[in-house]
Amino acid sequence: MYTALVLKEWRELWWTGAVALVVLCCVVWDEVGLFLDFEHFDITRRQLSQIPFRSDDMQMAVTSVACCLAVVLGLWQTLGESVRGTWRYLRQRPISFSRLLLIKVAAGLGLLLVGTGMPLALYLMWALSEGLHSSPFEWEMAAPTLFGWAASTAVYLAAFLVGIREARWYGSRLWPAAPVVVLYLFFGQFETSLYTFAAALMVVALALLGSILYAAGERDD
């Protein structure tokens, strides 16, 4: 039954992950200097001047695409069920509402991390490969991009929580966005170590997940 619920989420939302995957693959293609010669049907490489992961375009693209996908997934999985009136059908399953939401969250996070993580992993493999570029590479270079990508998980949880909360839009419904904004401001304004950012992200993510389960418990009553 759990597998059927996960597959149901993926059938509805696979296209969002596919769009993010294609967009980021195009970004990676450009960043590694590949060029498609339509005249001779050949793939060539141009000379690169930037150092891997030192391109602002790369960091901005990964963070923006991952956050946009996170918002779309979180709201589609929750508000979409409300618009279609399918919450009642889903709650007829012989599992608690909290467990149902955890399954939806797991499916959404999986799609988010795979759809945006695969192009990022390819770019990372290119940056780590000797001989493919002449620039040095240290893991600290990739930290800002990886931080922005990882924080999209908190964006997803915040969007999911916004979608299931029974509150007015101009009231307290949008409060889950506040800790995510603080997280990105902290990440963007200060030189943050890996451990500090990971700890902050874990605290925010656990707080949002706990709030999701609390909201689910209220709707179960």
Looking at residue 53, its amino acid is F
Neighbour tally for 170: CB within 10 Å: 7
Give the pLDDT score at 104: 93
Round the average pLDDT of the chain to a whole number and report it: 81
Q: How confident is the model at residue 132 (pLDDT cuts 50, 70, 90)?
A: low
Is residue 162 predicted with pLDDT exceeding 50?
yes
CA pair distance 151, 169, nearest whole angstrom: 24
Strand partners, 37: 42
Is residue 34 predicted with pLDDT exceeding 60?
no
Q: How confident is the model at residue 94 (pLDDT cuts 50, 70, 90)?
A: confident
The answer for residues whose C-beta is within 8 angstroms of residue 59's C-beta and 6 or more apart is 53, 144, 145, 148
Neighbour tally for 22: CB within 10 Å: 12
Task: Give the residue, 56 or 113, on which the prediction is more confident.
Answer: 113
Tell me if 124 sits within 8 A of 145, measured CB to CB: no
Looking at residue 41, its amino acid is F
- The share of the chain scoring above pLDDT 70, in percent, equals 78
Closest by Cα among 127, 187, 148 to 61: 148
Is residue 196 predicted with pLDDT exceeding 70?
yes
The pTM of the full predicted model, rounded to 2 decimals, is 0.87
Task: Give the residue, 173 or 205, on which the prediction is more confident.
Answer: 205
Tell me if 68 sits within 8 A of 159, measured CB to CB: no
Q: How confident is the model at residue 75 (pLDDT cuts 50, 70, 90)?
A: very high
Three-state SS string across 51-91, please? Answer: CCCCCHHHHHHHHHHHHHHHHHHHHHHHHHHHHHCCHHHHC
